[in-house]
Amino acid sequence: MIKVCLANNHPVVHFGVKSYFKDHDTISIVANVGNFLMVRDILLTKEIDVLILDLELEGLSSIFEVKNILKNFPKTKIIIFSDLSEQIYAPNAIKAGVSGFVSQKEKLETLGQAIVKVNQGKIIIDETVKKNLALIAKQNKSERLYRKLSNREVEVLRYLSDGKKNNEISKILGLNEKTISTYKLRLLQKLNVTNLVDLVNKAKTLEIV
């Protein structure tokens, strides 16, 4: 059996996933956690083949924390199961080392297929993501600017769009406030805007946040 841990904030997701895979022939949901701090504890105490992780999980502030999980528990594969913008987060997640990205809008059958493939060592991206990426590749230069953003820049932009100040973001990400200011400047340059309001609006237009 493929041993799976589901890490998600929402009880309804836990109930739905657990119910769907209850009598599955090859997949067993052996752990359910509601915050990122519990993920490490589970991986230390149980043998987990695949971790199903929501990027908005409570306690998860950075994609670099996901990288650390992969580094410390190399036998565990990670699938991002999220409703965040696929166009931007799927490529960055794959770049970080996760094995797949599945939208929460997809049927659980699709998630099951992804779990099996990832457990076999394959890297998978949901078909919807592939289609979205293909469409974006055809867009004009300004609409493709988001592809130049690093994982860290995406994170900073997300928090700026949520209304957080530089000092708040620095505490969340564990970075110097001057470093956050540097990332903010880079974002202004890369998205070709001159102020925070236009930066956030541009991000929303491009579905980056």
207 SS3 class: coil
Structure confidence at residue 147 (pLDDT):
59
Residue (of 21, 36, 35, 23) closest to 111 by Cα position: 21
For residues 51 and 133, which has the higher predicted lDDT (pLDDT)? 51
What's the CA gap between 54 and 104, in Å, rounded? Answer: 9
- Verify that 179 and 132 share a domain, yes or no: no
The DSSP secondary structure of 66-83, one letter per residue, reads HHHHHHH-TT-EEEEEE-
- Verify that 88 and 9 share a domain, yes or no: yes
- Report yes or no: 183 and 156 within 8 Å, Cβ to Cβ: yes
pLDDT at 84 over 90: no
**Residues 6 or more apart from 144 whose CB is under 8 A from it?**
136, 137
Mean pLDDT over the full length of the chain: 86
| Cα 122–Cα 149–Cα 40 angle in degrees, nearest 5 | 50
Structure confidence at residue 14 (pLDDT):
95
Structure confidence at residue 112 (pLDDT):
96
In a domain, residue 85? The reply is: yes
pLDDT, tens only, 141-168: 545 555 567 778 888 998 999 899 999 9
191 SS3 class: coil
**With bands split at pLDDT 50, 70 and 90, how would you rate the model's confidence at 134?**
low
**Residues 6 or more apart from 138 whose CB is under 8 A from it?**
none
Residue span of the structural domain in which 196 resides? 151-206
For residues 173 and 135, which has the higher predicted lDDT (pLDDT)? 173
What number is the average pLDDT over the span 11-26? 94
In a domain, residue 143? The reply is: no
Our CA dihedral for 161, 166, 171, 176, rounded to 10 degrees, sits at 130
- Report yes or no: 64 and 93 within 8 Å, Cβ to Cβ: no
**Into how many domains does the chain fold?**
2
pLDDT at 209 over 80: no
pTM: 0.70
Structure confidence at residue 87 (pLDDT):
65
Structure confidence at residue 90 (pLDDT):
78
Cα end-to-end span (Å), the chain: 37
Structure confidence at residue 131 (pLDDT):
66
Residue appearing with tokens 């599945």:
102
In a domain, residue 84? The reply is: yes
Percent of the chain, pLDDT > 90?
Answer: 54
Structure confidence at residue 138 (pLDDT):
60
Question: Domain containing 188 — which CATH number?
Answer: 1.10.10.10
pLDDT, tens only, 161-198: 989 999 999 999 888 999 999 999 989 888 888 899 98
Q: Name the domain boundary from 115, 137, 159.
A: 137
pLDDT at 63 over 90: no
What number is the average pLDDT over the span 76-102? 84
Q: Name the domain boundary from 104, 137, 170.
A: 137
Structure confidence at residue 33 (pLDDT):
96
